[in-house]
Amino acid sequence: MAIGQCKDIEQGEINDLQDLERPLIHEEKAVSFKNDEEENGSMNMVLLSTFVAVCGSFEFGSCVGYSAPTQSAIMEDLSLTTAQYSMFGSILTIGAMIGAVTSGRISDYIGRKGAMRMSAIFCITGWLAVFFSRGYLSLDMGRLFTGYGIGVFSFVVPIFIAEIAPKNLRGGLTTLNQLMIVTGSSTAFLIGSVISWRILALTGLVPCIFLLVGLVFVPESPRWLAKVGREKEFQVALQKLRGKDVDVTREAAEIQVYIQTFQSLPKARILDLFKRQYIRFVFIGVAIMICQQFVGINGIGFYVSQTFVSAGFSSGTIGTIAYACIQVPITAVGALLMDKSGRKPLIMVSAAGTFLGCFIAGVSFFLKAHNLLLGYVPIMAVSGVLIFISAFSIGMGAVPWLIMSEILPINIKGVAGSLVVLVNWLGAWLVSYTFNFLLSWSSAGTFFLYSGFSLLSILFVAKFVPETKGKTLEEIQESINS
């Protein structure tokens, strides 16, 4: 898509020639619509649609958090070896990578709502397989199915929210995706400590049921409906989102202009992502996901209890519960700051915090290795990890997903989005898989390595990532190409 030649409906604009052809009285009405009436009228349905969508994010967190509190019970009940349980844990990521590869095409073909419905069905099937498991094969198949479901959720939920939200609230609403992920993860960990692993599997059905029921009452993304040419349905969806008494004439006209332009664009293929007009978008999307994963979140998060024990605690339970609980309020603070402070400052401050947390944890293990200040080692390790997760939750967790949903032009969003999400899940698997090997090499070195990636993330964001706060999606794309 040539920036400056066509106006994407996602930007809420129309070309200059069309504006000049409009009667003056109609233009005045449009301006009034754009200021207050649209925002007030749209809020109820936008908020409901967002709440329904983030049920998928909560499901995402539930799947990720399931394995930590259930390991010993599942291994004992089903007589699993350590290798078999490791397969059960890691196959979630494999399923998510498969889901990531197919997510863009699926959401483009059957719509954002259709993709969420399909993901929920996969997760329900997976949880039931886990619940009824009598051996490791059905257990692994269930985990693979839930992994596939959350792989699709990880793409379609932020995309759907970004496409329906007003630009002044887009950051905060999209950040709810990450808030609900950590809420689901923390909830699974906490209640998994007091109920059986089979009952915990059934709790994973709850967000899926809420999602399937809620999708009946919310509209499809008008931008996707415009993209596939379903004119009558996009008019209805647009009116629902903007309010029944709101004049959507101008926005509908913008969508019509966009449809004409979009139909002239070739269908995006994977090789098209490396063309000059798209390569910067793809580079930023992929690189920021690498930054998110290689600060060490999945290694530290998956093995936090083991880390605390290695630091000298007799049990990692208290520190792990603190880790689980602290994510939710800090992520909520990040959501509130997203549209106030801006994306770029927030992610840079967040990366600085992950550097500090990893550095403190690294120093604690260095002191332990050299038998120095041993009385301070455990408290330094816990402090470092809690600083790390607090800093990650406030920015690094949510901002990359928001930026991904904002910077990709709609005609490559399906293909490019799949690639970006695949890179994220591949990074998650690589970090979690190598964490124990790195710890056996050097506990201090592991945390110093992650702190180094945090510094590189700050430099990358400062150099390449545009500020997207308060900008239309076209303005963001223009700033990237300039």
Q: For residue 3, which phi and psi values (nearest 5 degrees)? A: -65, 130
Which of 99 and 273 is assigned the larger pLDDT?
A: 99
Confidence band of 39 (pLDDT split at 50, 70, 90): very low
Confidence band of 26 (pLDDT split at 50, 70, 90): very low
Least confident of 82-91, 108-117, 422-431, 458-467: 82-91
Confidence band of 456 (pLDDT split at 50, 70, 90): very high
Which of 8 and 64 is assigned the larger pLDDT?
A: 64
**pLDDT on residue 142:** 94
**pLDDT on residue 319:** 63
Q: At 313, which amino acid appears?
A: F
Task: Determine contact, residues 57/155, Cβ cutoff 8 Å.
Answer: no
- At 91-119, the pLDDT tens digits run 888 899 899 888 888 998 999 999 999 99
Cα 282 to Cα 139: distance, rounded to the nearest angstrom? 36
- At 161-191, the pLDDT tens digits run 888 877 677 777 777 887 898 889 888 878 8
- Counting residues of the chain whose pLDDT is more than 70, the rounded percentage is 82
Task: Determine contact, residues 41/32, Cβ cutoff 8 Å.
Answer: no
- At 133-153, the pLDDT tens digits run 988 889 999 999 999 999 999
Beta-carbon contacts of residue 452 (< 8 Å; ≥ 6 apart): none
Rounded mean pLDDT of 25-54? 60
- At 288-308, the pLDDT tens digits run 999 999 998 877 876 666 677
The per-residue b/e assignment along 286-314, b for 16 or more CB within 10 angstroms, e otherwise, is bbbbbbbbbbbbbbbbbbbbebbbbbbbe
Q: At 285, which amino acid appears?
A: G
**pLDDT on residue 15:** 40
Tokens of 444: 């201090």
CA dihedral 66, 69, 71, 76 (to 10 degrees): -120
Cα 432 to Cα 18: distance, rounded to the nearest angstrom? 53
Confidence band of 482 (pLDDT split at 50, 70, 90): low
**pLDDT on residue 205:** 96
Which of 385, 369, 401, 244 has its CA nearest to residue 305? 385
Q: Which of 69-73, 330-334, 384-388 has the highest mean pLDDT?
A: 384-388
The answer on pLDDT for 16 being more than 60 is: no
**pLDDT on residue 7:** 38
Which of 73 and 338 is assigned the larger pLDDT?
A: 73
Which of 212 and 249 is assigned the larger pLDDT?
A: 212
Which of 316, 291, 307, 305 has its CA nearest to residue 446? 307
User: Average model confidence (pLDDT) for the chain?
Assistant: 80
Q: Could you tell me the pTM of the whole model?
A: 0.72
Secondary structure of the chain in HEC code, one letter for each residue: CCECCECCHHHCCCCHHHHHHCCHHHHHHHHHHHHHHHHHHHHHHHHHHHHHHHHHHHHHHHHHHHHHHHHHHHHHHHCCCHHHHHHHHHHHHHHHHHHHHHHHHHHHHHHHHHHHHHHHHHHHHHHHHHHCCCCHHHHHHHHHHHHHHHHHHHHHHHHHHHHHCCCCCHHHHHHHHHHHHHHHHHHHHHHHCCCCHHHHHHHCHHHHHHHHHHCCCCCCCHHHHHHCCCHHHHHHHHHHHHCCCCCCHHHHHHHHHHHHHHHCCCCCCHHHHHCHHHHHHHHHHHHHHHHHHHCCHHHHHHCHHHHHHHCCCCCCHHHHHHHHHHHHHHHHHHHHHHHHHCHHHHHHHHHHHHHHHHHHHHHHHHHHHCCCCHHHHHHHHHHHHHHHHHHHHHHHCCHHHHHHHHHCCCCCHHHHHHHHHHHHHHHHHHHHHHHHHHHHHCHHHHHHHHHHHHHHHHHHHHHHCCCCCCCCHHHHHHHHHC
**pLDDT on residue 447:** 93
Cα 355 to Cα 323: distance, rounded to the nearest angstrom? 17
- At 215-240, the pLDDT tens digits run 999 999 887 887 777 778 877 887 78
The answer on pLDDT for 459 being more than 90 is: yes
Rounded mean pLDDT of 184-210? 90
Cα 214 to Cα 217: distance, rounded to the nearest angstrom? 6
**pLDDT on residue 155:** 86
The answer on pLDDT for 340 being more than 50 is: yes
The answer on pLDDT for 85 being more than 90 is: no
Q: For residue 260, which phi and psi values (nearest 5 degrees)? A: -60, -40
Q: What is the largest CA-CA distance in the chain?
A: 80
Rounded mean pLDDT of 342-362? 92
Confidence band of 28 (pLDDT split at 50, 70, 90): very low
The per-residue b/e assignment along 317-344, b for 16 or more CB within 10 angstroms, e otherwise, is eebbeebbebbbebbbebbebbbeebbb
The answer on pLDDT for 262 being more than 70 is: no
Rounded mean pLDDT of 80-94? 80
Cα 378 to Cα 398: distance, rounded to the nearest angstrom? 29
Rounded mean pLDDT of 279-290? 90
Confidence band of 25 (pLDDT split at 50, 70, 90): very low
Rounded mean pLDDT of 413-437? 82
Indicate the burial class of 438 (C-beta count within 10 angstroms; 0-12, 13-18, 19 or more): middle
The answer on pLDDT for 278 being more than 60 is: yes
The answer on pLDDT for 200 being more than 90 is: yes
Cα 360 to Cα 355: distance, rounded to the nearest angstrom? 9
